[in-house]
Amino acid sequence: MLHQDQGQLVQEVAAGGLPAPPSRYVLKEEARPTAGGVAVPELAFPTVDLQRLAEPGDVEEAAKLRSALDSWGLFAVTGHGVPEELLDGILDATREFFHRPAEEKLEYANRTDDGEFQPEGYGIDRVDTDEQVLDWCDRLYLTVQPEDKRQPRFWPPSLATLLHEYTLRSERVAKRVLRAMARALGFGEEFFLDKVGERGGTDARFTYYPPCPRPELVYGLKPHTDNSVVTVLLLDPDVGGLQVLKQDDDGERWVDVPVLRRHELLVVIGDEMEIMSNAAFRAPTHRVVTSNRERMSLVMFYQPEPHRDLQPAEELVDETRPAMYRKLKAKTFGDGFWDAFALGERTLDFLKVKIDNKDAVSSA
């Protein structure tokens, strides 16, 4: 059954010029991003040069990666090799798409032929209940890899060629990062890529955050960790809004991810990597806050082949560091993500993937 609010595009709500967002979007007081993120001096935000990282002898860049992974779980990348014209072109085409009239965009609506919700296509994320607080964004969600899993009916022709090209280029970015992460743990370069498999899945998410009349009342995108091994993000070059929950000695706090320099990309560690690495690398919780300006992003989620077992690598498990996650199929995890996301929960918690090691040890 399709929830009655499934068809309400946020862009149309925003265009209505209301003084405040309707109650469906308004967060409970304690969840509101009122306190705002703490801005970090730009220098403190980690940036890694992928070109340098590919040189096994460049210990300095490898150390930067390690520190970014340990303290943030996400980092900006330069030297990524994606042509600047392609990055500009796909952002322009994304803006052009979201600026089209609703009826044109709805040709790619996220519905089955029977009118039921399905994740691929254009619209809002899945609405399950009246209680669910809705995010202030519309999105176009597409499976891009493996190529034979693409559903062309959801692909706007104006984005298709650019997205195909960007898929190939950004996949190389993800692979280079995964190779460097394997090396960071002292493994061969293919350590993680072999676990992902040759036919790993990639989903693309184009998100449009309309201007919001009361940004302090809503989330652009609720707090979550990504359903991915790694995620590669192309962010709006003008407007910020992404925040990460950063742990430090004083506890945890929301920190602004700065607007990146033009043509930089962002890499975020996802849940599947946290599981595979037995938490050597942790997936950061992040969210998006809105403003009175529109904002866009294009996000690529790299996932393992669906039939693969997802579990802590045996090389990273021993008596001092027992397995922290139980084994499950990559597909089970991926499917569970959507159920968890609608509830605002982490998939790891929703599917009870974490192992309570105190029990495991005492019952052994």
Ligand X SMILES: O=C(O)CCC(=O)C(=O)O
8 A C-beta contact, residue 255 and residue 244:
yes
Among 286, 290, 325, 341, binds ligand X (CB under 6 A): 286
Among 69, 180, 204, 221, binds ligand X (CB under 6 A): 221
8 A C-beta contact, residue 81 and residue 172:
yes
Which option in Fe ion, ligand X, none does residue 297 bind, with CB closer than 5 to 8 A by kind? ligand X
CB-wise, 226 or 294, nearer to Fe ion? 226
Residue 242 sits in the site that holds ligand X (CB under 6 A): yes
**Alpha carbon separation from 256 to 71, 198, 216 (Å, rounded):** 14, 35, 15
* Among the residue ranges 96-104, 132-140, 167-175, 218-226, the one whose residues contact Fe ion (CB under 5 A): 218-226
In the bound complex, what is the minimum distance in angstroms from residue 290's beta carbon to ligand X?
Answer: 11
Write the single-letter amino acid at 11. Answer: Q
Contact flags string 156-195 toward ligand X, x per CB under 6 A? ----------------------------------------
Among 255, 265, 288, 289, binds ligand X (CB under 6 A): 288
8 A C-beta contact, residue 160 and residue 244:
no
Which option in ligand X, Fe ion, none does residue 64 bind, with CB closer than 5 to 8 A by kind? none
CB-wise, 235 or 313, nearer to Fe ion? 235
In the bound complex, what is the minimum distance in angstroms from residue 249's beta carbon to Fe ion?
Answer: 26
Among 297, 303, 311, 347, binds ligand X (CB under 6 A): 297
Tell me the residue number closest to ligand X, measured at CB. Answer: 297
Residue 346 sits in the site that holds ligand X (CB under 6 A): no
CB-wise, 61 or 226, nearer to ligand X? 226
Going by their DSSP bridges, the two strands 138-145 and 121-123 should be labelled as: antiparallel
Among 226, 264, 274, 294, binds ligand X (CB under 6 A): 226
Tell me the residue number closest to Fe ion, measured at CB. Answer: 226
Among 182, 299, 313, 324, binds ligand X (CB under 6 A): 299
Total residues contacting ligand X (rule CB under 6 A)? 11
Q: For residue 274, give both structure tokens.
A: 């946290």
In the bound complex, what is the minimum distance in angstroms from residue 202's beta carbon to ligand X?
Answer: 13
Residue 300 sits in the site that holds ligand X (CB under 6 A): no
d(C-alpha 297, C-alpha 98), whole Å? 12
CA of residue 12 relative to chain centroid, distance: 25
Among 120, 135, 226, 271, binds Fe ion (CB under 5 A): 226
In the bound complex, what is the minimum distance in angstroms from residue 136's beta carbon to ligand X?
Answer: 11
- Enumerate binding residues for ligand X (CB under 6 A): 205, 207, 221, 226, 233, 235, 242, 286, 288, 297, 299
- Enumerate binding residues for Fe ion (CB under 5 A): 226
